[in-house]
Chains A and B, each alone.
Chain A
Amino acid sequence: MRLVLVSAFTFALYAGPALAQDANQAAPATGTANADTANVDYARTPSRDARHFARNAQRMAREQAVQTEEAATSQAPLPVDETVIVTDETSDPDQS
């Protein structure tokens, strides 16, 4: 029994935090995002309701593949907007 308890205690100290993903102390969010942040409520969405994003990517990737083949070039860089989309998710209250 002693052996079990001591081993479990050691394991809790050693492996408990290691296996507990993402449970870290949190600092409250401060500061603001980029000036051109799209500060709107883009809530997390079930993925099945977000397939249009993948379909758009699918279409663009196929078009790019055709162009790349025709021009015999490597993957071209893609334009990316500087806007940062911010959701209304708050920090985990148990972690702050």
Chain B
Amino acid sequence: MRFAFLCVVSLVLALTSAAPGHAGSNGRPVDQFTLQESAEFSKAIERELAARGAYVAMVFRTGRPREDLPEGIRYTHGAFWVYTPIETRDGRTIYGYVVFNLYHELDPVTVSGLYQDWPLDFTRGDVIGQAGVIIPVPEMQRRILDVIASDTFDHLHQSEYALLSNPADLRYQNCTEFMLDVVSAAAWETSDRDQIKVNLDAYFNPSRIELNFFERLAAPWIDPRIRLDDQGPIIETATYGSMADFMLAFGLASQDGIFELNAEHGLYAPTAPATSSY
């Protein structure tokens, strides 16, 4: 009895410390770095994308240290960066990038919305000073822009949010799965969500996360964003790595268009991703 009581107390303490509060892929800044540093990093990403002539790019950042992420997952949020003229309030026109995101809401955290914000908002959620980038080939960029500029973009959104959503299942969606759905709509030139899921089930190789029975049982209790009823025995989800592999395999992106940018020591030289599979 005493042992069980100690276990319960320990469990509650552990869950309290491990639980995420309400921060997540919700766009609230984390501000691990100074505003100046985050601004410089955001501008460095913009410069790199612009130097490569990218009108649209898929950029990823992590709001958690790498050692806290499950194996095979390098980033916790991704969004489309779109190059465009921007009117400032003082009447100037500047050229830079705007960011199209799927964010989950703060309350309830199991619902998401589509929001446009700015590069600095993106890097203010980064805690390691690294961004993963996929620049689609020019034809795919034009097709993705066609989707973002149309009603299809909203049509592809599933507002029921799950942190580890299954990309081949319609029930839930997270930010990365939404990006994958947009890429798929552009690649197959369809807005039919059922067809997209059938195609992804056939052609997309998701990242896999193994949880045992007890972990699956406890996970939704720890974090309400973890909803696993769209998953089979092994959890499958879309990640930067699996999307890079997919886009490379089907010619939607080239090897040169897949890289990571590092903010460390103020150096922004692009490097190949550190893992063999991105």
Contact = CB atoms under 8 A, between A and B. Distances in A.
Interface string B76-118: 1100001111101110001111101100000000000111111
Nearest to A47: B114
Contacts of A71: none
Interface in A1-40: 1-9, 11-13, 15-34, 37-38, 40
Interface in A46-96: 46-51, 53-58, 60-62, 64-65, 68, 74-87, 89-92, 94-96
A51 B116 CA distance: 9
Contacts of A37: 39
A47 B116 contact: yes
Contact of B115 (A45, A55, A74, A90): A45
A90 to B, nearest CB: 7
Given A31-B36, A50-B98, A57 B28 contact: no
Contacts of A58: 142, 145-146, 149
B53 A78 contact: yes
A39 to B, nearest CB: 10
A9 B13 CA distance: 9
B215 A15 contact: yes
Contacts of B55: 57, 60-61, 64, 78
Contact of A7 (B35, B65, B84, B212): B212
B14 A9 contact: yes
Chain B interface helix/strand/loop/mixed: mixed
Interface string B205-227: 00000011011011101110110
B100 A23 contact: no
A92 B26 CA distance: 11
Q: Which of B70, B163, B218 has the most CB of A within 10 A?
A: B218
Contact of B40 (A22, A30, A34, A46): A34
Nearest to A46: B115
Interface stretch (B121-129, B186-194, B266-274): B121-129
Contact of A65 (B114, B120, B142): B142
A21 B11 contact: no
B64 A18 contact: yes
Contact of B31 (A27, A42, A50, A57): A27
Interface of A: 1-9, 11-13, 15-34, 37-38, 40, 42, 44-51, 53-58, 60-62, 64-65, 68, 74-87, 89-92, 94-96
14 contacts: A2-B3, A6-B7, A7-B214, A11-B215, A19-B226, A22-B20, A23-B19, A38-B89, A44-B117, A61-B145, A77-B52, A79-B50, A86-B39, A95-B21
| Shortest 4 CB-CB contacts between residues of A and residues of B | A16-B18, A22-B63, A75-B53, A20-B20
Given A75-B54, A77-B51, 4 more contacts: A5-B7, A7-B215, A17-B68, A84-B42
